[in-house]
Structure 1
């Protein structure tokens, strides 16, 4: 069966390129090697960037695939973009369009999380979600989206273990892939939210400290969200209000609605 990895290898060989040359400037050689061996999945954005860099026709590359593979890659990207933007309307639209049960369950969890209704999910749905929940083994993770999605379903103890494992594996993470950074930011923000709900400022301080080690290739938006949580834990209501006002001016109303308020 043809895969993204086998296609990349075929075109790389046709071009006479090494894995280092094929991946240069887009993903690390080690990550690219895993993609070719189908050990890791690559985001559609990074894949298209590699193909464009080496002037490989998208039609020629994808022509051998059946009708499901490319739509699945696009669906995955759209799901994560909508979740990152806390766009419930978009997630609900996507849910109507999918038939695969595991994907529908993930979308249902995303929607419930944004709407603050995770606790209202039925026992059956929670049990089904537990069956597809990501393991805490980071060896084969290409990004942290699944951990971000399932964070609200984890116990606080398990969520804290996620942060501990990320800290321990931090130097091995591939931050040349922007999706690694963005998905990790989502994990940390959702964990900070849990810390605030559980009134655990010490654990929050550990997560905030970890954000200082992240590369500065993410937007000022994330900096504002992190400062907002710092303001909450410091009980600085004035700063929290200023940040919310700035987010409103920048058009992040959807996201603001999901943030905890300052009255605890």
Structure 2
């Protein structure tokens, strides 16, 4: 996911400028370093001043943001198709894609570890990187939801409860979401149910998550997730809200 810091760093290096030269007269180089490392935010007026000083148009920034979102979407689709097909060669190639973010490449390496039964040796530092990223990022766009959907199994149930609470409480305007976001939300919820089964740990939250999936809009893209949630809840007799949960699948 491209950040303002990533963009400024990329443009500065393309221009072969030091931080001091790039930021001179606007901010000090140490501040720019923190922005480039995504450790500091930057005011909009300061950002525009940096662009103007270095002859970079605001349109270039907006075009790069839009193009990157599309590129990330295509990348995520390729990863999903390769993972479902068990295509390790393609996943390995995607894990080395220099265009996408380091975070997304870590996600792909995690999926490779799952397919090769090497999750026990997956680097702890990579788990920490993902965890810190999720703690620091304020807005969860589709890219962040994709990361969560694919990496939930990295952590223990207790470690992901906060994520699930945020999903259940914040992502409820289903009519405003496209099919892709709905799909990601459904995947996160189902993955949480599977994690609870794996850890043999059940609570009222599992029922709330299943209820959340049940209330996602009827669309063919999440038929599998709705059916899987029903199967998990019925097979493992997880607790229900107020004694019952509707698992009637909408006509699709």
The TM-score normalised by the length of structure 1 is 0.53
Is 2:152–2:192's contact at 8 Å kept on the other side of the alignment?
yes
Show the counterpart of 1:171. 172
Answer yes or no: is the 8 Å Cα contact 1:136–1:165 preserved in 2.
no
Q: Which position in structure 2 is the counterpart of 1:91?
A: 91
1:207 counterpart (209, 214, 218): 209
CA contact (8 A) 2:79 2:108 kept: no
- 5 Å matches for 1:71-110? 73-80=70-77, 82-83=79-80, 86-89=84-87, 90-98=90-98, 100-110=101-111
Structure 1 counterpart of 2:35: none
Query: Deviations along 1:38-93, whole A, 9 cap, x unmatched?
Result: xxxxxxxxxxxxxxxxxxxxxxx99x957x97477334433245337634424333
* Shift, 1:187, TM fit: 0.4
The answer to whether the 8 A contact 1:134-1:146 is kept is no
Q: Secondary structure at the match of 2:191?
A: helix
Please report how far the alpha carbon of residue 215 of structure 1 lies from its aligned counterpart in structure 2 after TM superposition.
Answer: 0.8
Aligned-residue offset at 1:176: 3.1
3-state SS, counterpart of residue 86 of structure 1: helix
Distance 1:233 1:157 in 2: 20
**8 Å CA contact retained: 1:167, 1:210:** yes
Structure 2 unaligned segments of length 5 or more: list them. Answer: 5-43, 45-58, 239-252
Q: Which has the larger radius of gyration?
A: 2
Cα distance in 2 for residues equivalent to 1:118 and 1:188: 21
Gap change, CA 1:180 and 1:69, over 3 Å in 2: closer
- Could you tell me how far apart the structure 2 residues matched to 1:130 and 1:121 are? 14
Task: Return the offset for 1:165.
Answer: 1.8
User: What is the 5 A alignment of 1:147-158?
Assistant: 147-158=148-159
Report what 1:141 is aligned to: 140
Residue 177 of structure 1 and its aligned partner are, at CA, apart by: 1.0
Distance 1:171 1:69 in 2: 25
Describe the SS at the equivalent of 2:91: helix
1:190 equivalent in alignment to 2:191: yes
Question: Does the aligned pair in 2 maintain the 1:83–1:110 contact within 8 Å?
Answer: no
List gaps (5 residues or longer) in structure 1. 4-36, 38-60, 236-264
Distance 2:139 2:194 in 1: 27
Name the structure 2 match of 1:227: 230
1:110 to 1:73, Cα distance in 2 relative to 1, 3 A: farther
Q: Is the 8 A contact 2:79 2:91 kept in 1?
A: yes
Higher relative contact order, structure no. (Cα contacts within 8 Å, ≥ 6 residues apart): 1
Per-residue CA deviations over 1:117-159 (Å, capped at 9, x if unaligned) read 433212333334444x32387x622232122123122331132
| 1:88–1:176 CA distance, 2 compared to 1 (3 A) | same
